[in-house]
């Protein structure tokens, strides 16, 4: 894993967007998987404007949504799908055959997970993953204790995730389970960026870098990835003990 620090979140986000674009230029069939949440919002802004202004061909790009609150539909402004549509799918005009999200309203989550795993396999694996870090070290909805080799799964959310997750919703929401691409897919992905910004992430980032690599700290998985990057702004990097 490589640790890369930028002064600002905007600089970090612009750099990440450039990495995605150069991967796409090298491989026009890029399979890109991204988290929602606050962290990658600026990457999406840069990505959309750079792709459009640079006239980059993204007609073969395929996008995967990393995760979803189980039981929450895409029309809910707090859902992951809603933000994927707002940030990428609609601005880039991606057609239905160019992206896939979990259907979190399905009453058969196991088959949703199989659908995702089969699709990833059929596409030859994920090329580029961009994920955030939860306050408890989760990645996607791979909560503390999740095996590093797990594929897509449904999971009971950690209390911290349930509480922090309220920030995405306009009114109090009963959040219980998440459906997510697993850490096994992350380890198999050709490139992985874990991004974090802000002082509130500084402590979990220090643990990500310095604690033992352990399933009780999902974000530590990035240190096992030979083409993994931890990309931080100054504040998120500020508590890293050298």
Considering the complex, state which of residue 51 and residue 65 has its C-beta at the smaller distance from ligand F6R.
65
Which residues are at the interface with ligand F6R (CB under 6 A)? 35-39, 66-67, 80, 131-134, 138-140
Nearby residues of 16 by Cβ (< 8 Å), 6 or more positions away: 40, 43, 46, 130, 193, 195, 231
Separation CA 94–CA 85 (nearest Å)? 9
Q: Least distance to ligand F6R from the beta carbon of 66, Å?
A: 5
Separation CA 179–CA 221 (nearest Å)? 19
Considering the complex, state which of residue 120 and residue 131 has its C-beta at the smaller distance from ligand F6R.
131
Separation CA 50–CA 44 (nearest Å)? 10
Considering the complex, state which of residue 56 and residue 144 has its C-beta at the smaller distance from ligand F6R.
144
Separation CA 53–CA 38 (nearest Å)? 24
Considering the complex, state which of residue 61 and residue 78 has its C-beta at the smaller distance from ligand F6R.
78
Nearby residues of 236 by Cβ (< 8 Å), 6 or more positions away: 196, 197, 198, 199, 201, 202, 205
Q: Least distance to ligand F6R from the beta carbon of 24, Å?
A: 21
Q: Least distance to ligand F6R from the beta carbon of 209, Å?
A: 17
- Give the residue closest to ligand F6R by C-beta: 132
Q: Least distance to ligand F6R from the beta carbon of 149, Å?
A: 19
């Amino acid at each position: 894993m490589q640790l890369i620090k930028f002064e600002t979140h905007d600089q970090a986000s612009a750099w990440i967007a450039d990495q995605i674009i150069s991967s796409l230029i090298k491989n026009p069939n890029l399979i890109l998987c991204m988290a929602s949440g606050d962290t990658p919002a600026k990457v999406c802004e840069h990505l959309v404007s750079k792709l459009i202004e640079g006239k980059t061909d993204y007609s073969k790009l395929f996008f995967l949504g990393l995760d979803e609150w189980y039981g929450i539909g895409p029309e809910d402004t707090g859902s992951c799908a809603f933000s994927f549509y707002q940030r990428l799918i609609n601005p880039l005009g991606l057609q239905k055959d160019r992206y896939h999200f979990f259907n979190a309203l399905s009453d058969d989550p196991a088959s949703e997970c199989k659908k995702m795993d089969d699709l990833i396999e059929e596409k030859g694996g994920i090329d580029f993953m961009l994920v955030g870090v939860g306050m408890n070290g989760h990645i996607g909805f791979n909560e503390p204790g999740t095996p590093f080799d797990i594929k897509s799964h449904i999971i009971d959310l950690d209390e911290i995730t349930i509480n922090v997750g309220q920030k995405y919703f306009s009114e109090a929401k009963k959040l219980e389970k998440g459906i997510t691409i697993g850490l096994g897919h992350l380890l198999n992905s050709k490139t992985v960026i874990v991004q974090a910004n802000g002082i509130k992430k500084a402590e979990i980032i220090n643990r990500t870098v310095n604690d033992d690599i352990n399933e009780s700290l999902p974000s530590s998985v990035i240190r096992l990835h030979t083409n993994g990057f931890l990309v931080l702004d100054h504040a998120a990097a500020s508590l890293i003990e050298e």
